[in-house]
């Protein structure tokens, strides 16, 4: 399979969509390469493959009419097809889905459209308000599941959600923030390009994990996953997506940090998949890079550093298969 770059757009794409993974109640559809337009089940790859063909259409196409317009302001949304895929792969109608860092509520919207119930936590009221609006919008469009969003710090998730939810969650789908400034949007101007909508908050509140270094992010994420462990039912699944991330041109191993955080939280890693950020078209990969990604790779290559354009995300899958190993005990 060869790779070609689609014409770059001035808008960063959403994060990639995830196709059906493995395990759980995985389902395959016959229409595997249909464009995902937000009104149909997520596209799926061949059942059981660890490479998920999840960006057959762009983020804006997936979100059109299904999400409120303000959603675009969030700097690092998940592609709807990713969340829809995970929900379809690992849950049944009526199950409870949780996203402890829900942003504008992509996981929740896709879950309630699929007849699951969903609960989310988000640190920034700006994004939790939009998540609320997206849930209401989905319900007006006929979503049958129930959805609720709480604003708060998910490192203390057990003090935020009702105690009765312990042991009830079938699936956690989430994506940690990384770096204070991420994808965002660009607008051409006289002096080049202006970047906007590329930050979670004004950067002064360190409670948002986006503003911590990798160790701080991993520690906070481990705390969040430990809370999720308590909320998961036995056999419950956690799906974490992490895009390769470079800082000052150097690769940061976020996926390994996520795996470590999951293990410290008492979860068992059961799968590591790749979600394509490129469409599969007639035997070619058609990349959908953001402006920033293209710029970074071109600069690196010009400077003599061989660098590939990122066309995938890591998907780390965990299961609740054992008793929790309380955080700190392992450190001791
Ligand atoms: C990668 S984004 C998730 C986007 C989401 N999947 C969506 O589609 O909108 C990570 C989110 O985690 C939130 N966050 C950061 N620290 C948090 C914390 N301690 N508790 C809860 N949410 C947090 C950020 O504000 C951000 O919205």
Taking the centre of ligand 1 as the mean of its atom positions, its distance from the CA of residue 103, in whole angstroms, is 5
Pocket test for ligand 1, best of 102, 158, 171, 218 (most atoms within 8 A of CB): 102
Q: Please tell me if the CB atom of residue 175 comes closer than 6 angstroms to any atom of ligand 1.
A: yes
Q: Please tell me if the CB atom of residue 122 comes closer than 6 angstroms to any atom of ligand 1.
A: yes
Contact 120, 152 (CB under 8 A): no
Query: Tokens at residue 8, please?
Result: 């770059």
Query: Would you state the pLDDT for residue 53?
Result: 78
C-alpha distances in angstroms, 300 versus 62, 145, 247, 306? 31, 46, 13, 7
Residue-wise pLDDT for 228-254, tens only, equals 999 999 999 999 999 878 887 788 889
How close are the terminal C-alpha atoms of the chain, in Å?
Answer: 48
- Report the candidate in 226, 1, 29, 45 with the shortest Cα–Cα distance to residue 17: 45
Distance of CA 211 to the CA centre of its chain: 18
Give the Cα separation of 157 and 7 in Å (integer).
42
Q: What is the pTM of this model?
A: 0.82
Burial bucket for residue 120 (CB in 10 Å: 0-12, 13-18, 19+): buried
Taking the centre of ligand 1 as the mean of its atom positions, its distance from the CA of residue 332, in whole angstroms, is 30
- Which residue has the CA at smallest separation from atom 9 of ligand 1? 103
Taking the centre of ligand 1 as the mean of its atom positions, its distance from the CA of residue 122, in whole angstroms, is 6
Task: Determine the Cα angle at 118 with ends 117 and 124, to 5°.
Answer: 160
Q: Please tell me if the CB atom of residue 66 comes closer than 6 angstroms to any atom of ligand 1.
A: no
Taking the centre of ligand 1 as the mean of its atom positions, its distance from the CA of residue 151, in whole angstroms, is 11
Q: Please tell me if the CB atom of residue 154 comes closer than 6 angstroms to any atom of ligand 1.
A: yes
Which of 8-17, 214-223, 265-274 shows the lowest mean pLDDT across its residues? 8-17
In order of their start, the domains of the chain are 2-319 (3.40.50.150)
Burial bucket for residue 137 (CB in 10 Å: 0-12, 13-18, 19+): middle
b/e 144-172 (16+ beta carbons within 10 angstroms → b): ebebebbbbbbbebeeebeeeeeebbbbb
Give the Cα separation of 31 and 260 in Å (integer).
36
Give the Cα separation of 96 and 168 in Å (integer).
7
Taking the centre of ligand 1 as the mean of its atom positions, its distance from the CA of residue 127, in whole angstroms, is 8
Higher pLDDT, 311 or 44: 311
- Report the candidate in 111, 95, 84, 119 with the shortest Cα–Cα distance to residue 228: 119
Does the pLDDT of residue 327 top 70, yes or no?
Answer: no
Distance of CA 90 to the CA centre of its chain: 15
Q: What is the DSSP letter of 181?
A: B
Q: Please tell me if the CB atom of residue 178 comes closer than 6 angstroms to any atom of ligand 1.
A: no
Q: Please tell me if the CB atom of residue 62 comes closer than 6 angstroms to any atom of ligand 1.
A: no
Taking the centre of ligand 1 as the mean of its atom positions, its distance from the CA of residue 274, in whole angstroms, is 21
Residue-wise pLDDT for 286-310, tens only, equals 998 878 888 888 999 999 988 889 8
Q: Please tell me if the CB atom of residue 70 comes closer than 6 angstroms to any atom of ligand 1.
A: no
- Report the candidate in 88, 93, 78, 108 with the shortest Cα–Cα distance to residue 29: 88
Higher pLDDT, 8 or 307: 307
Which of 52-61, 62-71, 161-170 shows the lowest mean pLDDT across its residues? 52-61
Residue-wise pLDDT for 270-289, tens only, equals 999 988 888 999 999 999 88
Q: Please tell me if the CB atom of residue 77 comes closer than 6 angstroms to any atom of ligand 1.
A: yes
Pocket test for ligand 1, best of 67, 123, 180, 254 (most atoms within 8 A of CB): 123
- Closest ligand 1 atom to residue 15 Cα is 8
- Closest ligand 1 atom to residue 210 Cα is 15
- Which residue has the CA at smallest separation from atom 3 of ligand 1? 103
Q: Please tell me if the CB atom of residue 127 comes closer than 6 angstroms to any atom of ligand 1.
A: yes
Query: Would you state the pLDDT for residue 211?
Result: 84
Give the Cα separation of 240 and 218 in Å (integer).
13
Q: Please tell me if the CB atom of residue 121 comes closer than 6 angstroms to any atom of ligand 1.
A: yes
- Report the candidate in 297, 293, 277 with the shortest Cα–Cα distance to residue 285: 277
Q: Please tell me if the CB atom of residue 208 comes closer than 6 angstroms to any atom of ligand 1.
A: yes
| Mean pLDDT computed over every residue of the chain | 81
Query: Tokens at residue 331, please?
Result: 């450190």
């Amino acid at each position: 399979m060869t790779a070609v770059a689609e014409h770059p757009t001035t808008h960063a794409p959403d994060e990639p969509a995830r196709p059906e993974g493995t395990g759980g109640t995985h389902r395959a559809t016959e229409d595997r390469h249909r464009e995902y337009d937000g009104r149909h089940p997520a596209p799926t790859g061949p059942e059981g493959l660890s490479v998920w063909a999840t960006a057959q259409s762009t983020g804006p196409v997936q979100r059109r009419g299904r999400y409120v317009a303000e959603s675009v302001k969030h700097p690092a949304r998940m592609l709807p097809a990713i969340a829809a895929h995970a929900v379809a792969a690992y849950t049944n109608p009526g199950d409870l889905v949780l996203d402890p860092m829900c942003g504008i509520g992509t996981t929740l919207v896709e879950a309630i459209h699929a007849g699951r119930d969903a609960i989310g936590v988000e640190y920034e009221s700006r994004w939790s308000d939009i998540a609320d609006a997206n849930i209401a919008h989905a319900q007006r469009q006929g979503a049958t599941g129930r959805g609720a969003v709480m604003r708060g710090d998910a490192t203390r998730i057990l003090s935020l959600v009702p105690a009765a939810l312990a042991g009830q969650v079938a699936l956690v789908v989430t994506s940690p923030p990384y770096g204070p400034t991420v994808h965002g949007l660009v607008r051409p101007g006289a002096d080049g390009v202006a970047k906007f909508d590329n930050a979670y908050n004004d950067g002064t509140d360190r409670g948002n994990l986006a503003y911590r270094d990798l160790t701080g992010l991993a520690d906070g994420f481990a705390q969040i996953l430990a809370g999720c462990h308590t909320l998961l039912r036995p056999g419950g699944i956690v799906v974490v997506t992490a895009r390769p991330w470079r800082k000052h041109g150097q690769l940061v191993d976020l996926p390994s940090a996520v795996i470590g955080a999951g293990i410290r939280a008492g979860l068992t890693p059961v799968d590591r998949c790749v979600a394509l950020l490129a469409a599969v078209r007639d035997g070619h990969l058609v990349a959908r890079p953001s402006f920033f990604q293209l710029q970074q790779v071109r600069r690196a290559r010009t400077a003599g550093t061989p660098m590939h354009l990122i066309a995938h995300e890591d998907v780390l899958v965990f299961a609740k298969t054992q008793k929790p190993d309380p955080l700190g005990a392992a450190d001791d």
